């Protein structure tokens, strides 16, 4: 469903970004980058500690004519940004949530790997597989 | 065991073998794994091997001491010579050829060794140890071995590469198989993927004295057992390693196991261990892994923390990325720690990788934690198929091992279930929120949306109490100790009485509330509550036990919210939602006379409901209130009085009832109109004084008060009755089993009941709405009249 999935670190640099190789992926990169502002805005608006998972899910960040961008932030300020195609008969919010949950779980697994240094780009094959599964669904 | 006399050659040979098997350098005891392999290499049938072991006493002792080992070797020689295995044969058989191990390879090796003994090549050294090839005959054995041994040392220093070379140089006579083994392509998983110990052994053979070389030789030559691949491994890629190791080993003249000396060699060796299937771990490898595990974590059942594992595996000098991948594969339960099995799998993968094998995408089945079960290491449960949750579920290979299957299967199930949970949790959470009336969650359930603050339960009026008791008497509810039970029972009864309306949580709540309200008479209360809910409703304040977790009470909430909410909304400051609901509820209650019986019940129920709702601010209250207008009104009145203080004081009992009715009526008709209230109050007392049944008064006074609403009252009464019935039904119904863990049947049954209740309530709702409309019209007309009477409306 997603055409682009990105994992952004706390310092707002990408840990992992992958998009369906359709057109220029740069456009997706740019969208993700611009969405970070919205994410920060939502985070600051939240205020209280992001404990409740509902708060982790930011929902639709902003829609464009072709795509919709959804956001999700973890308690450690690691952000997941997902760009989905608007043409997809609107994905249910629950589905987006579940996708983010899977992302979060996979990300946690990557973190658990002692060979992974936080801050490195995510190169886990398992993570890649999971993301691929999510993206293939879409396309 | 009689004394064992060995010839010199035998002595030497045996000591070499012993050293070979003594990987732990204990010099006393050999590792069983090695010994077993050795025996397997002897190409003796298993039963013979077992017999040998038994004869030599190892079975008895449980380990192979030096003497046992020697005896065993001797017996091997005996067996290989075709002599029957007897203890006596140890010494009786003369000229016993040295036991031959490892099939052709060894023989070949030995052959070569003998043939090349003169070459002063290491091969000679090899052969020296190994009994002369069969071809050469035993003649050579003795002298050959000696000779070989002698030249060997001299040749030891020579080309470290010779060990590597020798295996590959299969002499013409060398069986092709042997050659194949020796040469199996590096990384050729097809053959013996991992000939781990190979390199290890080659060094041995090389450097060590002839004996060790011999050991290495035959060890390397153990092609038959697939596991001997390690040996062949020597020929494989790790050749280079071997080469490098040779120099080192060359210097090491002792027959010390290289194992101890070269950890990496061991690793390599491990890697080259042969498997029947590429990823199978041989016993020796496993033993090695276990030993390594012990060095990090003495407790075999414990975990190796990630950091320690990281350090350990970093020593293997594999790239971090690959180590990371190995970790992902091997850490089954994704807990950041390695159990014994996980560690062995990881170690094995490292070895494989070092040998040039590519890492698999998924963990091979042979490496799955099922090994743990086989190894009876603890933490099987931990490892179970957490096969890379992060990975695709496909990575959860169906474990074959008995223990793992469940584990692995559970993992995929968990994977799926986790995904299902994801959705489920969404749903559940949403539903829960719904039930909990989380405004955030879109109330998919109309009931939830409807749910409004549970009307506060008015202090149970005695009248209501009486009513409740009456109801209780009628009902044979069980003890409300278990709301669900009560509800179910009530529900069943209610169903009979009323339409089979399923009453969700409301009942439970009622149950609770009732119990609360009538501490003295919990059972009765409970019963009443279930049916009449109102009881409980009435006494919520009294007992004030926190209502049970708000259960989704669609019916309640719905009914109540529809009517009550509005009315309640009007009346602010309602102490409790339920109470509030009461006042705004249709003021005119159907005449109690209409259906005294049912009304009695219903009002009671309504009250109960109301009270329930009050206690359980959600769902239920609406229903009860809604249903039991009369009581509710009474309650409301009482509640209102409580809060409003003004009237309550006057007529503690009456007013409450009046209030109950008043709130609904007065609020609606003349919220701010004190007159009306007064009127109602006045009327209420009058009505109350009538002393009709407790149930009747509430509706009656209300009706009286609203003279213009008399006609409405019957409706209200009906409503009340209906609502009461519904409330009762709902109350009786066990709350919707929020907890997933409830008995499924009960849940399903309650779901059914709830659905029925929902339908009934929906109908009732529509009817009540209609009545509401009528009442509103009446109100409007009254207001107009008021306006006329009072030009300056305070509103």
Domain ranges of chain A: 2-134
The H or E element that residue A85 is part of is: strand A79-85
**Any residues with CB less than 8 A from the CB of A94 and at least 6 apart, and which?**
B423, B426, B427
Q: Looking at residue A48, what is its pLDDT?
A: 58
Give the model confidence (pLDDT) of A8-54 as tens digits: 988 888 888 888 866 778 888 888 888 988 888 887 776 655 455 44
Contact A125 B336 (CB under 8 A): no
Distance from CA of A87 to the nearest CA of B (A): 23
A2-134 folds as Beta-Lactamase (3.30.450)
Which residues from A are below 8 Å from B303, CB to CB?
Answer: none
C-alpha–C-alpha distance, residues B726 and B732, integer Å = 9
Q: Hey, how many other C-beta atoms are within 10 angstroms of the C-beta on B580?
A: 38
Cα dihedral across residues B451, B457, B462, B463: positive or negative: negative
For residue B15, pLDDT beyond 70: yes
End-to-end CA distance of chain A: 6
Residue ranges of B 355-384 with Cβ closer than 8 A to chain A:
361
The H or E element that residue B663 is part of is: helix B654-670
> Which of A7, A24, A6 minimizes the C-alpha distance to A83?
A6
Q: Looking at residue B548, what is its pLDDT?
A: 58
**Any residues with CB less than 8 A from the CB of B533 and at least 6 apart, and which?**
B506, B507, B509, B510, B513, B514, B604, B605, B606, B607, B608, B609, B610, B611, B612, B620, B623, B624, B627, B628, B724, B727, B728, B730, B731
Distance from CA of A131 to the nearest CA of B (A): 9
Contact A112 B334 (CB under 8 A): yes
C-alpha–C-alpha distance, residues B186 and A32, integer Å = 46
> Which of B215, B265, B257 minimizes the C-alpha distance to B240?
B265
Poorest-confidence range of A49-63, A100-114, B236-250, B547-561? B236-250
Counting one residue from A and one from B, how many pairs have CB atoms under 8 Å apart? Answer: 75
Measured CB to CB, residues of chain A less than 8 Å from chain B are 54, 94, 97-98, 101-102, 105-106, 108-110, 112-116, 123-127, 129-130, 133
CATH of domain B8-92: 1.10.238.10
Q: Looking at residue B237, what is its pLDDT?
A: 41
- If you average pLDDT over residues A54-79, what whole number do you get? 83
3-state secondary structure of B170: coil
C-alpha–C-alpha distance, residues B299 and B293, integer Å = 9
Which of A4-13, B63-72, B295-304, B417-426 has the largest mean confidence? A4-13
Nearest beta carbon to residue A94 from set B313, B395, B426: B426
Give the model confidence (pLDDT) of B541-567 as tens digits: 445 555 555 555 444 444 444 455 455
Q: Residue B740's pLDDT band (boundaries 50, 70, 90)?
A: low
> Which of B624, B570, B630 minimizes the C-alpha distance to B599?
B630
Asked if residues B631 and B614 have their Cβ atoms less than 8 Å apart, the reply is: no
Contact B325 A130 (CB under 8 A): no
C-alpha–C-alpha distance, residues B680 and B746, integer Å = 45
Between the alpha carbon of residue B677 and those of residues A67, A95, B642, B685, B702, the distances in Å are: 60, 53, 15, 12, 10
Q: Residue A126's pLDDT band (boundaries 50, 70, 90)?
A: confident
Exposure class string for B422-451: b at 16+ Cβ within 10 A, else e = beebbeebbbbbbbbbeeebebebbbbbbb
Give the model confidence (pLDDT) of B482-536 as tens digits: 444 444 444 444 444 444 444 444 444 444 444 444 444 444 444 444 444 444 4
Which residues from A are below 8 Å from B337, CB to CB?
Answer: none
C-alpha–C-alpha distance, residues B202 and B319, integer Å = 27
With 0-12 / 13-18 / 19 or more C-beta atoms within 10 angstroms meaning exposed / middle / buried, residue B36 is middle
Which residues from A are below 8 Å from B307, CB to CB?
Answer: 114
C-alpha–C-alpha distance, residues B415 and B424, integer Å = 13
Give the model confidence (pLDDT) of B380-420 as tens digits: 434 443 443 333 444 434 434 444 444 444 444 444 444 44
Q: Looking at residue B338, what is its pLDDT?
A: 82
For residue B431, pLDDT beyond 70: no
B442 part of contact set with chain A, CB < 8 Å: no
Q: Looking at residue B357, what is its pLDDT?
A: 79
Distance from CA of B395 to the nearest CA of A (A): 9
Residue in B with minimal Cα distance to A121: B321
Q: Looking at residue B87, what is its pLDDT?
A: 65
- Where do the domains of chain B lie? 8-92, 283-355
CATH of domain B283-355: 1.10.238.10
Q: Residue B771's pLDDT band (boundaries 50, 70, 90)?
A: very high
With 0-12 / 13-18 / 19 or more C-beta atoms within 10 angstroms meaning exposed / middle / buried, residue B323 is buried
Give the model confidence (pLDDT) of B185-235 as tens digits: 444 444 444 444 444 433 333 444 444 434 434 443 444 444 433 433 333
Of residues B240 and A49, which shows the higher confidence score? A49
C-alpha–C-alpha distance, residues B640 and B574, integer Å = 7
Contact A54 B320 (CB under 8 A): no
Q: Looking at residue B8, what is its pLDDT?
A: 77
Query: In the block, which residue shows the tokens 């732990």?
Result: B24
Residue from B314, B315, B323, B324 to probe the interface with A (highest A Cβ count within 10 Å)? B324
B392 part of contact set with chain A, CB < 8 Å: yes
Nearest beta carbon to residue B388 from set A116, A123, A126: A126
Which residues from B are below 8 Å from A115, CB to CB?
Answer: 310, 313, 320, 323-324, 327
Distance from CA of A129 to the nearest CA of B (A): 6
- For the entire predicted model, the pTM comes to 0.34
Tokens of residue B572, six digits? 């602010």
Residue ranges of B 281-340 with Cβ closer than 8 A to chain A:
306-307, 309-310, 313, 320-321, 323-325, 327-328, 331, 334-336
CA atoms in the 13 A half-sphere facing the CB of A35: 31
Contact B422 A112 (CB under 8 A): no
Distance from CA of B343 to the nearest CA of A (A): 13
Residue from A121, A126, A127, A136 to probe the interface with B (highest B Cβ count within 10 Å)? A126
For residue A114, pLDDT beyond 70: yes
Contact B310 A114 (CB under 8 A): yes
Of residues A116 and B406, which shows the higher confidence score? A116
Contact B390 A110 (CB under 8 A): yes
Which residues from A are below 8 Å from B327, CB to CB?
Answer: 113-115
Q: Residue B22's pLDDT band (boundaries 50, 70, 90)?
A: low
Contact A124 B324 (CB under 8 A): yes
């Amino acid at each position: 469903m997603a055409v682009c999935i990105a994992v952004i670190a706390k310092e707002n640099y990408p840990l992992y970004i992958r998009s369906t190789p359709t057109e220029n992926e740069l456009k997706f990169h740019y969208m993700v980058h611009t969405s970070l502002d919205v994410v920060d805005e939502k985070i600051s608006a939240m205020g209280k500690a992001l404990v409740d998972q509902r708060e982790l899910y930011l929902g639709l960040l902003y829609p464009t004519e072709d795509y919709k961008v959804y956001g999700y932030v973890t308690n450690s300020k690691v952000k997941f940004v997902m760009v989905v195609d608007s043409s997809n008969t609107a994905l249910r919010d629950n589905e987006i949530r579940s996708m983010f949950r899977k992302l979060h779980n996979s990300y946690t697994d990557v973190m658990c790997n002692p060979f992974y240094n936080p801050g490195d780009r995510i190169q886990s094959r398992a993570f890649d597989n999971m993301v691929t599964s999510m993206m293939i669904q879409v396309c | 065991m009689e004394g064992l006399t060995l010839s010199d050659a035998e002595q030497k040979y045996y000591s070499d073998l012993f050293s070979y098997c003594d990987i732990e350098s204990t010099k006393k005891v050999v590792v069983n794994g090695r010994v077993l392999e050795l025996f397997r290499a002897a190409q003796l049938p298993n039963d013979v091997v077992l017999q040998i072991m038994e004869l030599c006493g190892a079975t008895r002792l449980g380990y192979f001491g030096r003497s046992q080992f020697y005896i065993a070797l001797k017996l091997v020689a005996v067996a290989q010579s075709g002599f029957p295995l007897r203890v006596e044969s140890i010494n009786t058989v003369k000229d016993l050829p040295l036991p031959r191990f490892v099939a052709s390879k060894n023989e070949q090796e030995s052959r070569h060794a003998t043939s090349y003994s003169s070459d002063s090549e290491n091969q000679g050294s090899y052969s020296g140890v190994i009994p002369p090839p069969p071809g050469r005959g035993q003649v050579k054995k003795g002298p050959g071995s000696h000779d070989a041994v002698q030249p060997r040392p001299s040749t030891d220093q020579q080309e470290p590469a010779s060990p590597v070379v020798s295996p590959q140089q299969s002499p013409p006579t060398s069986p092709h198989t042997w050659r194949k083994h020796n040469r199996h392509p590096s990384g050729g998983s097809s053959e013996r993927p991992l000939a781990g110990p190979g390199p290890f052994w080659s060094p041995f053979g090389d450097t060590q004295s002839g004996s060790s070389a011999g050991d290495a030789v035959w060890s390397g030559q153990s092609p038959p057992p697939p596991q001997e691949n390690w040996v062949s491994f020597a020929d494989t890629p790790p050749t280079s390693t071997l080469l490098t190791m040779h120099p080192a080993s060359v210097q090491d003249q002792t027959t010390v196991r290289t194992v101890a000396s070269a950890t990496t060699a061991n690793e390599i060796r491990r890697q080259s261990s042969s498997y029947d299937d590429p990823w199978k771990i041989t016993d020796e490898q496993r033993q090695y892994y276990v030993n390594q595990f012990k060095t990090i974590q003495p407790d075999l059942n414990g975990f190796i923390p990630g950091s320690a594992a990281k350090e350990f595996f970093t020593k293997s000098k594999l790239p971090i990325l690959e180590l990371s991948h190995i970790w992902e594969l091997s850490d089954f339960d994704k807990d950041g720690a390695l159990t014994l099995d996980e560690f062995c799998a990881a170690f094995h993968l490292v070895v494989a990788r070092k040998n040039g094998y590519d890492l698999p995408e998924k963990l091979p089945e042979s490496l799955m934690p099922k090994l743990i079960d086989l190894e009876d290491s603890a933490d099987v449960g931990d490892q179970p198929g957490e096969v890379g949750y992060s990975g695709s579920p496909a990575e959860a290979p169906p474990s074959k091992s008995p223990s793992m299957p469940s584990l692995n299967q559970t993992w995929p199930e968990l994977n799926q279930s986790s995904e299902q949970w994801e959705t489920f949790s969404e749903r559940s959470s949403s539903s829960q929120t719904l039930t909990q009336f989380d405004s955030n969650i879109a109330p998919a359930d109309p009931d939830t949306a409807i749910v409004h603050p549970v009307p506060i339960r008015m202090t149970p009026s005695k009248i209501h109490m009486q009513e409740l008791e009456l109801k209780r008497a009628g009902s044979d509810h069980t003890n409300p100790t278990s709301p669900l039970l009560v509800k179910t029972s009530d529900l069943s009864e209610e169903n009979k009485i009323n339409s089979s309306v399923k009453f969700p949580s409301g009942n439970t709540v009622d149950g609770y509330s009732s119990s609360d309200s009538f501490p003295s008479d919990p059972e009765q209360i409970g019963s009443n509550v279930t049916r009449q809910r109102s009881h409980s409703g009435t006494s919520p304040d009294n007992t004030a036990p926190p209502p049970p977790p708000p259960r989704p009470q669609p019916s309640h909430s719905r009914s109540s919210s529809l009517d009550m909410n509005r009315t309640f909304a009007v009346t602010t400051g309602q102490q409790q939602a339920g109470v509030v609901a009461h006042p705004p509820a249709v003021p005119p209650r159907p005449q109690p006379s209409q259906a005294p019986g049912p009304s009695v019940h219903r009002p009671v129920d309504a009250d109960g409901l109301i009270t329930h709702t009050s206690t359980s601010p959600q769902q239920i209250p609406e229903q009860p209130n809604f249903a039991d207008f009369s009581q509710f009104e009474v309650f409301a009145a009482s509640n209102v009085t409580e809060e409003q203080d003004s009237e309550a004081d006057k007529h503690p009992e009456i007013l409450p009832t009046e209030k109950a009715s008043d709130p609904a009526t007065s609020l609606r008709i003349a919220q701010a109109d004190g007159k009306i209230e007064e009127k109602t109050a006045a009327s209420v007392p009058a009505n109350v004084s009538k002393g009709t049944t407790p149930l009747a008064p509430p509706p009656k006074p209300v009706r009286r008060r609203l003279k213009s609403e008399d006609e409405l009252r019957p409706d209200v009464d009906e409503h009340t009755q209906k609502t009461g019935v519904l409330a009762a039904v709902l109350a009786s119904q066990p709350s919707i089993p929020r907890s997933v863990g409830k008995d499924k049947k009960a849940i399903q049954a309650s779901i059914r009941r709830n659905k029925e209740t929902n339908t009934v309530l929906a109908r009732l709702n529509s009817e009540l709405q209609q009545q509401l409309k009528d009442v509103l019209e009446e109100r409007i007309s009254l207001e107009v009249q008021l306006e006329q009477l009072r030009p300056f409306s305070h509103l």
